Amino acid sequence: MASKIGKILVVDDNLGIRRALEILLPVHFAEVKTIPSPATLVSSLEQFRPDVVLLDMNFNTSINTGNEGLFWAGEIKKQAPDVEVVLFTAYADIALAVEGMKRGAFDFIVKPWDNDKLVEVLTAARDKARKAKGNVRPESAGNPMFWGASRPMSAIRKTLDKIAPTDATVLITGENGTGKDVLAREIHAHSLRSGKPMVAVDAGAITETLFESELFGHVKGAFTDAHADHAGKFELADGGTLFLDEIGNIPLHLQAKLLRAIQNRSVVRVGGSQSIPVDIRLICATNMDLETLVHEGRFREDLYYRINTVHLALPALRDRQEDIVPLAELFLQRFAGKYHRPLTGIAPEAADLLKGQRWSGNIRELQNCIEKAVILSEGSVLTEKDLQLEAAAVDSVKKDSLSERSEESLVREAMERARGNISAAAKMLGVSRPTLYAKLKKYGL
């Protein structure tokens, strides 16, 4: 029997399942907590600090009906990257659970479950989480930058070597899937702040009502659900790096509050009066043309110049042809190990097909293509059949420009393919969830 160490949080709306697990799991784990819905998930993460979350895939909530598990798994990894997520799913949702693993979940368990299998998976997840907490900083976890051999990437690397050791504010631009978040982590890893946290924020996904609380924090009693003092992302990044992704999606009236915090190097928590000094290095990223937004009056000019001390523009994958196959081989190695496939390389014909694709979704699309191919492969090398590039081409059209198809039809198709999952559809389209909500409202979908 495994030693009783580790903390497990179970999130399931079925009372019978919670009661059964409250009997089974304490035999194997030091602490077990069960909650009936994700409504209190974030606060439970902060207060209980579990090693593993056993997360049901479906709840009766207003968020992404049928696919809530994918959404909440992503929220857990954002809130607590060192916590491992095991998805609890019915047989019919196995495909969604596999998608969850691709997004960072540790594993999945199918209901009705086998007790021994459940305990085996949860203890493995616990051991991984505890090892990571002891030896790996979650903020620096992730795969290193693949620089390749293209001229644009060589130029960026030279610039990075110069600016990383400084505290210069950096703006990273590029199409969706080009690796803006990876480049941000690379800058932090080579900075003098590398021993301190890097806190990443999807600025476009924060609702307007929670914007100040998320970034600047709040005091107990500031609003209905403020049961305790809460440090915002600026405070959490103190001494380290704050990465604001999708900064172009921040509404204009909230940009002024962000600018004030950056200029003053201090924040005031919602409901509080004390000015809290913060020492951060700021990195921002966007797939939008901020200069155009400034000219259109949709992005503050003073904020634009404040975040644009150094500008790094990541090239599209189609503009670094010589890197396509090496990148594919890198992904092949990674996923062959993850899925225990005896793959040694890519067949020449398959390599030619890879080089001939447009890759509108850039590195992310290539990575997804190779991951699917590895999962479906049967031989020792990836073949044309394994790649399923016709299907990949269909997937990539969602990220193309709207010259061939209307925006409405792309949004409609993405929602159908995602089976109503807002987060999944937003990823397909390469936009933030708030942006997709606006599109759905615009077209009455």
Question: Domain limits of the chain?
Answer: 7-136, 151-313, 317-398, 401-443
* Long-range contacts of residues 329-334, Cβ cutoff 8 Å, at least 24 apart: 330/146, 331/366, 331/367, 331/370, 331/371, 331/374, 332/370, 332/374, 332/382, 334/143
Q: Which of 32-36, 165-169, 219-223 has the lowest mean pLDDT?
A: 219-223
CATH number of the structural domain 151-313 = 3.40.50.300
Cα dist. 205→86, 161, 240, 302, 437 in Å?
Answer: 24, 31, 22, 23, 11
Does the pTM surpass 0.85? The reply is: no
Q: Which CATH number fits domain 401-443: 1.10.3470, 1.10.1760, 2.40.50, 1.10.10?
A: 1.10.10
Residue 26 has pLDDT above 60, yes or no: yes
**Mean pLDDT computed over 159-176:** 94
Decide if 7-136 and 151-313 have a common fold: yes
Architecture of domain 317-398: Orthogonal Bundle (1.10)
Condensed to tens digits (0 to 9), the pLDDT of residues 233-277 reads: 999 999 999 999 999 989 898 999 999 999 999 999 988 889 999
CA distance 83 to 81: 6
Kindly indicate whether the domain formed by 7-136 is annotated with CATH number 3.40.630.10. Answer: no
Angle at 237 between CA 234 and CA 243, to 5 degrees: 80
Residue 437's pLDDT is: 75
Please state the separation of Cα 259 from the chain's center in Å: 25
Cα dist. 248→286, 363, 383, 400, 427 in Å?
Answer: 6, 21, 40, 20, 17
Q: Which of 77-91, 279-293, 310-324 has the lowest mean pLDDT?
A: 77-91
CB 61 within 8 A of CB 420: no
